[in-house]
Amino acid sequence: MIRRLWKFNGGVHLPAHKEESASHPVRRAPLPKRLILPLHQHIGESAEAVVKAGDRVLKGQMIAHAKGFVSAPVHAPSSGVVVETGDLPVPHPSGLSAPCIVIETDGADQWTQLQTHGDYTRLDPSALRNIIREAGIVGLGGAGFPSFIKLNPGPGKAVNTLILNGVECEPYITCDDMLMRERAPDIIAGLRIIRHALRARECIVAIEDNKPGAYAAMCAAAAGTDIHVVQVPTIYPAGGEKQLIKVLTGMEVPGNGLPIHIGVVCHNVGTAAAVYRAVEYGEPLISRYMTITGGNIAQPRNLEVLIGTPVKDLLDECGWNPATLDRLLMGGPMMGFALPGDDVPVIKTTNCILAMTAADSQPQRPVMPCIRCGACADACPVNLLPQQLYWHAHAKDLDKVQEYNLFDCIECGCCSYVCPSNIPLVHYYRYAKTEIWAKEREKQKAEAARLRYEFRLQRIEREKTERAAKHTQKKEELTAAPVDPSGTKKAAIVAAMERAQAKREEVKSEE
Amino acid sequence: MFVAIIALGALAAAFGLILGYAAIRFKVEGDPLAEKINAILPQTQCGQCGYPGCRPYAEAIARGEADINQCPPGGEAGVVKLADLLGRDPKPLSAEHGQVKPKMVAVIDESICIGCTLCIQACPVDAILGAAKQMHTIIAKECTGCELCVAPCPVNCIEMVPLKPDIAHWTWTFPDEQPQPPALKGAQG
């Protein structure tokens, strides 16, 4: 069936660099000695550890449970002993440390008792969501939003179109491509489970037209069903959620809205495969496909990697050369970030490890003034005005950048890529975004401090009046009440005086 | 002539009544300007401005008694905001009211604390937990870093430490300080 497709504004054509890593079948990465599991691998609140140093854990056992609604649990990717819980370097652009659980593997790779759930079609959507939540599944496309939330359209909202995103538009990355080629039936089965939970009317699998192998495999797996497998033109960033929705449906997601507001839900192909494993076999999310590539890697390829494997183990497995390593990125060259070192672990959202030599990456060219050419606005897939955003972010005018819809920016990097003056535009937007969030936090803290301060003043005032009231009451009691109402005290004193007098006289008379 | 005087007089009386009623009905409690100034102040309640808290300082600015550059925790940004609100020219922070410092949090050395409650009485935001002859501790989340608890402590067991950076509070640096080249070769053809 030929489907009508739409176009989004801008985008760029990039050198793909995909063949290098997509020419070998995927194999399992060897079991690492140490697994480092950060408690925060998703959007939302950190998970909370339920094991401590010295505990023995089995493969698939929950080691940290979800805390709060937007959160996901973490499971042990292999059996072994917890040797440490504490702050360790995690993959994050800040290079800071965060709470982690470290497991020393025992090599047995012994599974815990897995709970299967039988025929999913007889399960209630909420029960399905619960299984997916307990399996720790988050969006594997990059953002890491807990998936069970995106399986709940919410009251009164119907899902018209369910999109499975296999576009994978960023250069170098091929893990979704390989997953579709090798595990298409799993993905389609996962898609049907997601569809069952969402009661979606229509299902579309979108694949870029530079992945004919994946397209053929998915078509074969979806044959005989009403699932549409669609090829979309190769242009970056067609895999962005809002861009893909525009391409497939012609509809635009409103600025501050979510796809569900226009009846669309989007999931990644990797997520669908993980959902299938969780529902069919009770397996939690403990491994994923990952691309290890770049000019520094001798045999670029995809590996099935346990979450928590140190990056260095993967680089060793694929043959790297530390001497010529220029930059080590997690994610792709457009949206990835530089890793602080090779000792950090991979996490649920890691799709690619990119080890570049100096020859791979762009030589650093001097940043020059903006010449107002407008190339960035032509390239922006969200129809923003990158130039205006840049001026105001540069001037640190945080109100103005928000007026220009800074928070609709998806940080795809198209504007920086086309900028003839080499201005690091996205860096400015990231700076402005985090600065606005910091200001917001400060404001909330100041408000809380103000309330506490005012409450304290009130309390001191209240205590003062209470004390004064008590004081006057006591005083009144003392003055109003007669000191010795019945006169017994007086009488006793008189009697004592008389006794003393008598005694004195007695002594006198004896003399 | 007579009719005109009566008509105008009646109108004046009617409008007078309306205005009088409006003055009572729509009376604004408190000083709205002080309220706006207080919303800009950082609510550290440290007293470095010379007033016993942010609200008294806000009221003093509103009355024209205090200058806008006496709040070091608010920093230069705070002075600029106050200047914007009040239609004045921003000026540098006055040196006699202290220096801008990084964000701090108080920490009690619990092994030294004698449980005298003096710091509890000094804390403007009730961020210290404890009782007489019991160990005291700071509720770090509520501490504004005002340092008011440090001086009253008779055994010097309270220390101000800079806030530790963590991922949730981390911000990207301003780009000029750290230029980054695009990672992909072929950019700008």
Phi, psi of A52 (to 5 degrees): -130, 170
Q: How far apart are the first and last CA of chain A?
A: 140
Q: Give the distance from CA B185 to its chain's centroid.
A: 49
Residues of B in contact with A453 (CB under 8 A): 43, 45, 53-55, 124-125
Flag if B42 and A442 touch (Cβ within 8 Å): yes
Nearest chain A alpha carbon to B39 = A447
Return the residue in B59, B172, B173, B178 with the most chain A beta carbons within 10 A, the one to mutate for interface testing: B172
Q: Do B126 and A455 touch (CB under 8 A)?
A: yes
State how far the alpha carbon of A309 is from the alpha carbons of A174, A285, A288, in Å: 19, 14, 11
Residue A147: left (phi > 0), alpha (psi -120 to 50), or beta? alpha
- Provide the pLDDT for residue A484: 62
Query: A235: which residues sit within 8 A by CB, 6+ positions away?
Result: A11, A12, A13, A169
Mean pLDDT over residues A208-236, rounded?
94
Write the burial class of residue A205 (CB in 10 Å: 0-12 exposed, 13-18 middle, 19+ buried).
buried
Determine which of A419, A450, A455, A461 to mutate to test the interface with B (most B C-beta atoms within 10 Å). Answer: A450
**3-state class (DSSP) for residue A99:** strand
- Output Rg (C-alpha) for chain A, integer angstroms: 34
Q: A96, B170: Cβ pair inside 8 Å? A: yes
Find out whether B46 and B147 touch, Cβ atoms under 8 Å.
yes
Contacts of A439 (CB under 8 A, 6+ apart): A398
Is B181 in contact with A363 (Cβ distance < 8 A)? Answer: yes
Quote the minimal CA–CA distance from B181 to chain A in Å: 5
Contacts of B167 in chain A (CB under 8 A): 40, 90, 92, 94, 96, 98
Cβ contacts (< 8 Å) between A446 and chain B: which residues?
41-43
CB contact under 8 A, B183 and A363: no
Q: Output the pLDDT for position A181.
A: 95
Over residues A57-91, the pLDDT tens digits come to 999 999 999 998 999 999 999 999 999 999 999 99
Q: What is the pLDDT of residue A511?
A: 66
pLDDT at B188: 43
Q: Which residues of A touch B185 (CB under 8 A)?
A: 15, 359-362
CB contact under 8 A, B169 and A438: yes
Residues 6+ apart with CB under 8 A from B45: A449, A453, B53, B54, B124, B125, B144, B146, B148
Q: What is the mean pLDDT of residues A335-352?
A: 93
Rounded distance, CA B157 to CA A392, Å?
A: 46
Residue B92 sits at the chain A interface (C-beta within 8 Å): no
Nearest CB partner across the interface for B181, out of A362, A438, A456: A362
**Least confident residue range of A11-20, B22-31, B156-165:** B22-31
Q: How many residues does chain A have?
A: 511
Q: Do B188 and A418 touch (CB under 8 A)?
A: yes
CA distance B183 to chain A (A): 5
User: Which whole number is the average pLDDT over A389-416?
Assistant: 93
Q: Which two tokens stand for residue A204?
A: 């579309």
Q: Which of A327, A418, A435 sits opposite B171 (nearest CB)?
A: A435
State residue B143's pLDDT score.
93
| Pairing, β A264-268 against β A287-293 | unpaired
For A337, name the nearest residue in chain B, comparing CA atoms only.
B183
Across the interface, whether the CB atoms of B188 and A363 are under 8 A apart is answered no
Give the confidence band of B94 by pLDDT, cuts at 50, 70, 90.
Answer: confident
pLDDT tops 90 at residue B189: no
Q: Mean of the pLDDT values across residues B72-91?
A: 89
Q: Does B1 touch chain A (CB under 8 A)?
A: no
Distance from CA of B139 to the nearest CA of A (A): 12
Question: How high is the pLDDT of residue A131?
Answer: 93
Among the partner-chain residues B45, B173, B180, the one whose CB lies closest to the CB of A453 is: B45
Tell me, yes or no, if B189 comes closer than 8 A to chain A by beta carbon: no
In sequence order, which residues have a C-beta less than 8 Å from that of residue A42 and are 6 or more positions away?
A71, A72, A138, A144, A145, A146, A348, A349
Interchain proximity B182–A362, CB inside 8 Å: yes
Q: What is the DSSP letter of B176?
A: G
| pLDDT tens figures, A179-219 | 999 999 999 999 999 999 998 999 999 999 999 999 999 99
pLDDT band, residue B178 (cuts 50/70/90): very low
Across the interface, of B126, B180, B187, the residue whose CB is closest to A427 is B180
With bands split at pLDDT 50, 70 and 90, how would you rate the model's confidence at A452?
very high
Check pLDDT > 90 for residue B26: no
pLDDT at B183: 56
Contacts of B165 in chain A (CB under 8 A): 94, 96
The string of pLDDT tens digits covering residues B99-145 is 888 888 999 998 999 999 999 999 999 999 999 888 899 999 899 99
Contact A60, A75 (CB under 8 A): yes
pLDDT digits (tens, 9 = 90+) for A86-127: 999 999 999 899 999 999 999 999 999 998 888 888 988 899
Whether residues B175 and A431 touch (CB distance < 8 A) is answered with: yes
Number of A–B residue contacts, CB under 8 Å? 121
> Can you tell me the distance from the alpha carbon of A451 to that of A446, in angstroms, rounded to the nearest whole number?
9
- State the average pLDDT over residues B2-9: 94
Asked if the Cβ–Cβ distance from A446 to B181 is below 8 Å, we say no
Work out whether strand A202-208 and strand A161-166 pair parallel, antiparallel, or are unpaired. parallel
CB contact under 8 A, B167 and A446: no
- Tokens 């649920």 locate to A348
| B56 three-state secondary structure | helix
pLDDT(A427) > 90: yes
Residue A50 vs residues A64, A71, A97, A346: alpha-carbon distances, Å? 5, 15, 20, 21
Q: B79 CA to chain A: closest CA distance, Å?
A: 16
- Whether ipTM > 0.95 holds is no
Inspect the interface and report whether the beta carbons of B183 and A455 lie closer than 8 Å: no
* Residue A259 banded pLDDT, cuts 50, 70, 90: very high
Q: Give the pLDDT confidence score for residue A366 in this predicted structure.
A: 86
What is the separation of C-alpha A138 from the centre of its chain, rounded to a whole number of angstroms?
A: 8
State both tokens at A25.
Answer: 């079948």
B69 at interface of A, judged by CB pairs closer than 8 A: no
Residue entry with tokens 């920016």 = A409
Residue B179 has pLDDT above 80, yes or no: no
| Position A301 pLDDT exceeds 60 | yes
Contacts of B166 in chain A (CB under 8 A): 96, 98
| Pick from A367-381, A410-424, B93-107: least confident | B93-107
A41 Cβ contact list (under 8 Å, min separation 6): A72, A74, A138, A144, A307, A347, A348, A349
B184 to A419: CB separation less than 8 angstroms, yes or no: no
